[in-house]
Each structure stands twice: as C-alpha cells, then as structure tokens.
Amino acid sequence: MSSATNVETIALPGAEATAVPRRNILWAYGIVGLFALISLGTFAYNEYYTYLSVYLWFGFIYGVCLQYGRFCFSSAFRDLFAVGVPRMAVGIMIATVLFALVGAFVTATGLSTFHPAPTSFHSVVAGFIFGVGMVFAGGCASGSLYKAGEGNGVAVIVILSISVTQAIFADVGGWTNHLVPQAWHESALSKGLPEVINVSDGWVDQYLAGYVWNQPVTTYAQIMGWSNESVAGAFLGNLMVGVVLPAAALLAVVYVFWSRRGFKNKRAKAGGQADFTFKDELAGYWTMILASKRTAIAGLVLGIAAGLHMFVIQGLRVKFGVKNAGTLLERMGFDFGISVNGTVFDPGYWYVTTQEAQWVGWVLQKLGTENMDNIYFGFVNGIPNPAINPADWMSLALIGGAAVMALLHNEFKFKKPTLELATWAMIGGALMGIGSRLGLGCNVGAFFVRVSQGDPSGWLFGFGMIGGAYIGVKFFNWWTERKMAKEFAACDF
C-alpha cells in the first residue's frame, strides 16, 4: 500500500498487476462483510437459514469466477462470428468439459441434485430464440449478472427485461389459448393437475403439460444402458460420450474455420517448415486451447464449486430431513408463495433465470395479479418473498462476488446506458426470457449445466443458441452498416 498515492497494487492470478484505489478495496470489504453479517445473523436467528447461506456463498464464488473468466456466451459468439476471434468460445467449451469432469465425480458418488430435462426439438427452438436475444442484448443470462456487478447499466436493464418477460410469459393466457394445438390441450388435461392450476388456461401451461412433459427424459449413461451413478455411466457415458467427444469435435471445427490460418501464418513468419503436418495441426489445436486459459480456469473453479454446492445442499437436506427448501420456509413460518406441492425453486446448483422470474412474479402477485394458477409458479417453483428465496440469495451474491472481483481489479465503473443500447437490451432480454421458459433454462441452466451432466437436451439447446447467435450477429452487422450508411448520407462534407 502506498500512502502517497493511496493505491494498492493487486495482481489477480493470470492477470497483470493493477493499481487499485483504497476506496475500491474498502467497498470490496464492505460487500464481503455484509454477506458475512447476513450469514451469521440469520444463522443465530434460525439454523435453517444455513440452507440459504449455502446459496449465498456459492453464488458469491460463481460471481467471482464469472467476472474473472469473462464468462459471457454473447461476447463469445459475437467475437467468433463478427470478428473471427475464437478465444472466449473455446474457453467456454473447455470450461464445460472441466465442469463435466467434476460433475461426473459428483454423479458417481450419488450426491448429485441434477435432474435431466425432457429432450426434443423444442430445446433447439428455445435455444435459437435465446441466442438471438443474447446477441441483441449484448450479454447472456450469466454475463448480464456479472456485468451488473461491474456497474454496467445495460446489464441491469437486460436482467429486468428477462425477469419481467418470463413472469408475464409464464402466465399468459386469453387469446394465446387459441394458439395451443388440440393435442397439447387434451394431453395437458389428462395429466390430472390440481384444479387450482387451471391448466386449460395458459399457453405455457399447455405447452409444458401437453407437450414437453411427454418427451423422453434421459442421459447419455442411460442411453448406453448404464445407471448415472455407476462409474461407467458417469465417466464413460455422461462425460466421455456426452461431453468430451462432442466438445473436441466442436473445437476442431472452430480450429479449422477460425484459428488454423492464424496459426499457420504465425508459424510461417517464425520461419517454420513449408509443409504443415498433422503434428503441426495438433500443435495449433493445443495452442488454441491454451489461449483461453483464464476462461478455462474460471470454468474449472465453477465446476468444483457447483459440485461442492450439490454436495452441501444434499447434506443439509439430509440433516434437516427435507427434499426441498419449501418445507424449511414453511417451518420458519413463511407460507406465502409456496407451490401447491409445497415446493419452491431449489435446484441445488447454479441456475440463473427462474429466480429472476420469481421476484417479478412475487411483485405482480402482491400487486393483485393471480400468478399461482400456472404450472411454472403455482405447481413447481412458487413465488416466495425474494428476501427468503434461496436462489435469489444466490443471484444477489453472484452480483456481489462479481462486484468484489471488479473492484479489486479496478474494473468497476458505473456505465449509464444510452437510449439505443437500452432499447436493444429490452428487446434482447425479452427474447432471452421467452427462450428460457421454452427451453426450461438459459445458457447456464439449459446448456452449461445440462451438457456437463450428460443431458442430451443441453446440446440441442446449445446448437439452437449457436444458430440464433449467428443470425443475431448477421442481423446486427446489417443493422449497423445500414445505420452508418444513413448517417454518412446525411453528412454534408
């Protein structure tokens, strides 16, 4: 610490040393201190709050990792498709593999809290809508959270837009009921859901109960005839076949189209051999992988943290004798917003979008809108008070963790959005919100987590998301060129 300049030089792992003002460090301590105080205070009040503190501290770790690794799918695909830089896309793929490695350990020990999702074409469509949205918004669901922690106003608007759109979309009925195919309607009615859910009113309700729930739920391990908890199932089925091989193939495609030429040119400039052998190709492939070190490290830590998160949640469920946090909330006297099944959203691992929908759902319910008569809120996730919603603790702590990391690396800065960026943020956020509800998750819940846990629906969502991101980038390029042409035409040189 230099008393003259009142700055401290901080070097984060894998990053250059940065001079950080003392004020930033105090703010970082303040945020950590606040979370510590919440954890200790609530624990002293009631032991059950430990369950929420688990979400808080693991959320904080996720935030630190996301900010450190610049873990944003939107930036990754924009860089790849718009300017041909594959570094972050490669990093995300490596992170997925590393997360899957940790996930395989957790699954093999029988401590996983993960449940695969129904697999069908709906995931591709949902991913496509989400992909277009994240490019328009300039940040995916996870990216927007960590960018909000960096003080980015656009990211805050994106989060608001995702949250509001999901809450409204999950409950939309009226004329949209006419858009529901008769087969979905009949299938939904045949599920025997409680009357309070009113399944015949609501597009998403009938989509879920009449279509999505009829799709197969499986993992690569099960497809190959193993159980998820077996070593062969977890490591060969879910990890090797489900993640490593497809990821290696995708990385090969990225290498051939976006990285190979640059590597060849670099070799030629360095006076390398004229002929480019298979060994050189492998060296180029490996160089591309190593170039994404920071995102990969973040992915590894994210994977370990998510694995431990599952482990701790499972332990506390056994300790308190519950299967879901809804029971704990009821025991603590909070019965508002608990689903008809007595549950609230309690994934037991990293998730982003549902808790965003829940807090808006809770606000709307408080304002007089009936939000508990649909499957999403009323039957499965509930809309508990955000102050005692476990997953909301995770998201808020995630923003806090990202803020601490940004402050300690002097990257925190309040950025006020322009009207144009705010408009794109709202449009993109709305598309991401719709995509998330159709795909039962975002780039984290529907892609990153599912792929790494051997759920085939994750790749389907991912392929749709890549397609959507490609179209989104192409549209944006066209839009920008058109706008610039108009501006140039208006200039009188």
Nearer Cβ to other proteins (39/389): 39
Q: Does 29 bind other proteins (CB under 8 A)?
A: yes
Q: How far apart are the first and last CA of the chain?
A: 53
Residues whose CB is less than 8 angstroms from the CB of residue 400 and which lie 6 or more positions away in sequence, other chains included: 31, 34, 35, 59, 60, 63, 149
Question: Is 47 or 481 the residue whose CB approaches other proteins more closely?
Answer: 47
Token pair listed for 394: 């995770």
- Of the candidate spans 53-61, 145-153, 254-262, 339-347, the one that interacts with other proteins by CB under 8 A turns out to be 53-61
User: HSE of 342 in the Cβ direction (CA atoms, 13 Å)?
Assistant: 8
Q: How far is the CB of 315 from other proteins (least distance, A)?
A: 3
* The one-letter amino acid at 94: I
Nearest to other proteins of 53, 295 (CB atom): 53
Q: Which stretch binds other proteins (CB under 8 A): 6-14, 208-216, 246-254, 482-490?
A: 6-14
CA-only gyration radius of the chain, Å: 23
Q: According to the binding rule CB under 8 A, does residue 408 interact with other proteins? A: yes
If the CB atoms of residues 108 and 157 are measured against other proteins, the closer one turns out to be 108
Q: Closer to other proteins by CB, 53 or 74: give it.
A: 53
Nearer to other proteins, 33 or 272 (CB): 33
Q: Should residue 14 be labelled a site residue for other proteins when binding is judged by CB under 8 A?
A: no
Phi and psi of 13, rounded to 5°? Answer: -55, 130
CA triple 459-465-469, angle to 5 deg: 145
| Strands (E) located in 419-475 | none
Please tell me whether residue 38 binds other proteins under the rule CB under 8 A: no
From 8-16, 124-132, 191-199, 260-268, give the range in contact with other proteins by CB under 8 A.
8-16
- Minimal distance, residue 319 CB to other proteins, in Å: 4
* H or E element in which residue 285 lies: helix 278-290
Q: Is the dihedral of CA 227, 228, 234, 238 positive or negative?
A: positive
**Residue 9 binds to other proteins (criterion: CB under 8 A):** yes
> Six-digit token pair at 483?
């706008």
Helix (H) or strand (E) run with residue 305 in it: helix 293-320
- Residues in 164-203 that interact with other proteins by CB under 8 A: none
- Which residue of 3, 13, 182, 368 would you call a contact of other proteins, by CB under 8 A? 13
Nearer to other proteins, 41 or 272 (CB): 41
Among the listed ranges 104-112, 220-228, 273-281, 450-458, the one in contact with other proteins (CB under 8 A) is 104-112
Cβ atoms of residues 20 and 10 within 8 Å: yes
Q: Where are the beta strands (DSSP E) in 55-150?
A: none
Sign of CA pseudo-dihedral 482, 486, 491, 493 = positive
Q: Residue 104 is inside which H or E element, if any? A: helix 87-108
Among residues 239, 241, 184, the alpha carbon closest in space to that of 215 is found at 184
Site for other proteins in 282-321 (CB under 8 A): 308, 311-316, 318-319
Q: Tell me, what amino acid is at 314? A: Q
Is residue 54 at the binding interface for other proteins, with CB under 8 A as the rule?
A: yes
Query: Is 28 an interacting residue with respect to other proteins (CB under 8 A)?
Result: yes
Which residue number, 113 or 177, has a Cβ lying nearer to other proteins?
A: 113
61 binds other proteins (CB under 8 A): yes
CB of 211 to other proteins, least distance (A): 36
> Is residue 11 a contact residue for other proteins (CB under 8 A)?
yes
Question: Distance between CA atoms of 151 and 159, rounded to whole angstroms?
Answer: 13
> Which residues form the interface with other proteins (CB under 8 A)?
8-13, 20, 25, 28-29, 32, 35-36, 39, 50, 53-54, 57-58, 60-61, 64, 109-111, 308, 311-316, 318-319, 404, 408
